[in-house]
A and B are shown apart, each in its own frame.
Chain A
Amino acid sequence: MPRKPTRSAKGGAAPHLGESLPIERKLELYYWMRLTRTLEERLVALYRQTKVVGGLFRSLGQEADAVGSCYALEQRDVMSPLIRNLGAMLVKGATPVEVLKQYMAKGDSPTRGRELNIHFGDIGEAGKTRGFLGQISPLGDMVPVMTGVTMTFKMRGEDRVGLVYVGDGATSTGAFHEGINFAAVQKLPLVVVIENNGYAYSTPTSKQTAAKQFVDKAIGYGISGEQCDGNDVLAVYDCTKRAVDRARAGEGVQLLEFMTYRRKGHAEHDNQSYVPEGEIEQWAAENDPLDRYVRVLLDREKVSQTTIDEIDRRIAEEVDAATDVAEASGFPEPLDAMIGVYADPPVEKPLWFREGADTSSLGKERAEGWGTWDAAKGGNS
């Protein structure tokens, strides 16, 4: 049974949505969504040139839910993304150069070539870090970790909120259940976003849960839940803003379900043979989050096509420039692999059959210039 688009683009957004946002901020939402898509399209090109050395994960069709939700956070808040939350990471301050270097396994990428794709982060003190946490592949694990992050906010009396994204698949894990339950019991300022995009790899939601909708799980945990149209960026923003405000006010864990659709496969290699015929095409034609938002901007907000074209042009330039920077970067020195498993010792000794290796980087855990963000400079180091 093909999954039907939840809402037609023809109706646009309801008039009350996003009313708290001035037009400049509404255009920012468009910027982040378009940047996400353009950057991913660039990554596809680089993947085909074999410059992306690992898998490539798209968020095509999900840009609104990632961008709209993260946009409801403050700079000091901490967000834990998933593989389809490139948009959320960009909103939180990750840069196209960082993302490109990560995918291309460059030596000065945020993880120094240790991790893939958008698995990188920058968390810590408010104001000194951008506030997004590096994810790992086992799904659901980030929920308990964010339970701990927000537990720290509560213990220290910091006015900060955490937001963690999970997919429909991750809701089936023990980590999701334990993390959300513990956070609920502790009444922590945590927003848990379930992005229901229809598929976990090839598994449809009908095989993931017997629940009618994921938001119903909130009842069992004794927390508030809300569901919204994940392809309407203003609806996502409003819904998340309400949840973030409640969490900030001390009302405890908030569960959100965004209804969206994954138009690409799990990763670029996936031919989506499991998807019913016509389903992807129907979503692309009737419920593309960018198309929908452009209509809202043009028709309701009376933004000119020229303004939108200008943003698109700016993004194209930015992505071109970032690609040049990333491509010019070198690859890691092999011996860098030995650094920083532990704080103490700071470096592991190469095995005897590698003893001829140059040991010039020994003794340093994390060389100067390995930082991904320098608040003082206001940019990447």
Chain B
Amino acid sequence: MAEITYLEAIREALDEEMARDQNVFLMGEDIGAFGGAFKVTDGLMKKYGEARVIDSPISEIALVGAAAGAGHMGMRPVVEMQFIDFIANAYDMLTNYVATARYRAFLPTPMVVRGPSGGYVRGGPFHSQNPEAGFIHTPGLKVVYPSTAEDAKGLMKAAIRDDDCVLFFEHKYLYRRIKGVMPAGDHVVPIGKARVAREGKDVSIITYAATVHKSLEAAAKLEEQYGISVEVIDLRSLAPLDDEAVFNTVRKTNRVLIVHEDTRTGGIAGELTARINESCFAYLDAPVLRVTAHDIPLPYAPQLEDFVLPQVDDIVTAVRRLMAW
């Protein structure tokens, strides 16, 4: 089997699900004839026609609302946010309407909202955001954020088949940098399950998305230069969080660093820290530490962006600090 990119893996999942289920259809800005700003949906309009790959007006509220309405009626829409930054426009529709639909009205709302997310790409304040924390705070939504090509495909297939709304964050830095060989057959990765990206025994790094790769790089460096054995947990799903996987690694290494590219205050690291504190306090040999972005809108210039976002050396520093306890 040939290697394909993270981006191609997403396209492959969309293609397979559209072929498998007539109810799956795509909506978004410039996704059809043009194939999307990043070409994720390239070729799908040609294959499935304009009725199932819909070029929409610039209307994130309408895209999400229409997906909900279609979902109620038995369709399985997949909506693209051209950049995930624009999901903010649909915040009301997602949190007030979609997230509550099943609970308040017993309405199934199977739908996926997906889009290119994250920084390290010199995209500036409106093409680099990681808005996931705002949505994991809302009961009724599921949130996934894969770091590998295999997970990108398998989680997309799971998201489309899920009977509730799944927000699918795609890291644009990984789109063409990360490749993988897809497992044969119907490859579905269950939502809500973390993955051990690297086994280790001295310290655990809990992370997701692009910083999984930064953490793996740091882990290799720590092993080589300092003889520290680092375990890396890739959360993959942010809502629901895989508490069991988190607690298992804490019990194993007794030292925890949480790394995310999102800003610090109100980020997922705070929630994870609280859960570890409530459930695993006795297992900790050191306080839980965080490496995150600064609480700064993401700037454009490489010197500024690199300073604001977490880097490999920051992770190395933090792990060494944890080990000093």
Contact = CB atoms under 8 A, between A and B. Distances in A.
A and B from one complex: yes
Interface of A: 111, 114-115, 119-121, 123-124, 133-134, 136-138, 141, 143-153, 155, 174-175, 178-179, 181-182, 185-186, 340-345, 366, 370
B97 A147 contact: no
A366 B59 contact: no
A175 B68 contact: no
B93 A175 contact: yes
A123 B72 contact: yes
A141 B93 contact: yes
B23 to A, nearest CB: 9
In the complex, which of the residues A137, A145, A370 has the most CB atoms of chain B within 10 Å of its own CB atom? A145
B323 interface: no
14 contacts: A111-B104, A120-B105, A138-B97, A141-B93, A147-B66, A174-B61, A174-B89, A179-B59, A179-B66, A181-B57, A182-B62, A182-B63, A342-B164, A370-B106
B169 to A, nearest CB: 19
B71 A185 contact: no
B45 to A, nearest CB: 15
Residue from A137, A152, A370 whose CB has the most chain B CB atoms within 10 Å: A152
A155 B49 CA distance: 12
Contacts of B62: 144, 147, 175, 178-179, 181-182
Contact of A340 (B56, B75, B103): B103
Contacts of A123: 72-73, 107
A141 B106 contact: no
Contact of A185 (B51, B57, B74, B100): B57
Nearest to B163: A343
Given A155-B25, A155-B70, 8 more contacts: A121-B107, A123-B107, A124-B73, A138-B97, A141-B96, A148-B69, A179-B66, A182-B66
Contacts of A340: 102-103, 106
Interface residues of B, number: 44
Q: Which of B62, B65, B139 has the most CB of A within 10 A?
A: B62
* Residues of A contacting B: mostly: loop
Contacts of B102: 340-343
A175 B61 CA distance: 6
A182 B57 contact: yes
Contacts of A141: 61, 65, 92-93, 96-97
B114 interface: no
A186 B27 CA distance: 12
Interface in B30-86: 51-52, 54, 56-57, 59-75, 77
Contacts of B118: none
B142 interface: yes
Nearest to B73: A152
A341 B66 contact: no
Contacts of A146: 69
A121 B164 CA distance: 18
Nearest to B89: A174
Return the 4 tightest CB-CB contacts between A and B, nearest first. Answer: A144-B65, A148-B69, A148-B66, A178-B62
B108 interface: yes
